[in-house]
Amino acid sequence: MVQQLKVIAREHLDYRKQIGKLAISDLKKTYRGSALGWSWAIIKPAVTIFVYWFAFSFGLRKGGDIAGYPFFLWMVAGIVPWFYMSEMLTQGTDCIKKNRFLVTKMKFPVSTIPTFTNISKFIVHMLLVILTIVIFLGTGHGLTVYALQLPFYMLLLFLFFECWSYFSAPIATISADFSNLVKSFITAIFWLSGILWTADSIDNRVVKFFLQLNPVNFLCTGYRNCFVYHRWFFEQPKLLVIFLAELLVMFLLGYWSYHKIRKEMPDVL
168 vs 27 pLDDT, higher one? 168
Residue 252: count of CB within 10 angstroms of its CB: 13
Q: What is the DSSP string of 3-16?
A: HHHHHHHHHHHHTH
Question: What is the pTM (predicted TM-score) of this model?
Answer: 0.90
The residue type found at 188 is A
Ranges of H-type helices in 139-175: 150-174
Partners of residue 207 on adjacent β-strands: none
The answer for residues whose C-beta is within 8 angstroms of residue 34's C-beta and 6 or more apart is 40
Q: How confident is the model at residue 5 (pLDDT cuts 50, 70, 90)?
A: confident
Partners of residue 66 on adjacent β-strands: 69
Least confident of 1-15, 113-127, 249-263: 1-15
| pLDDT > 70? residue 38 | no
The answer for residues whose C-beta is within 8 angstroms of residue 137's C-beta and 6 or more apart is 143
Least confident of 45-49, 81-85, 146-150: 45-49
User: Around 230, how many Cα atoms within 13 Å sit in the side-chain half-sphere?
Assistant: 9
* pLDDT for 63: 60
CA gap 169, 67 in Å, rounded: 39
User: Around 149, how many Cα atoms within 13 Å sit in the side-chain half-sphere?
Assistant: 20
| pLDDT > 80? residue 199 | no
Supply the Cα-derived Rg of the chain in whole angstroms: 19
Q: How far is CA 80 from CA 28, 75, 125, 211, 247, in A?
A: 21, 8, 7, 19, 21
What pLDDT digit, counting tens, does each position of 77-121 carry? Answer: 999 999 999 999 999 999 999 888 888 777 788 889 999 999 999
Helix axes 113-138, 16-31, angle to 10 degrees: 60
The number of helix segments (H) and strand segments (E) in the chain equals 12, 0
Q: What is the pLDDT of the chain when averaged over all its residues? A: 86
- DSSP 8-state symbol, 185: H
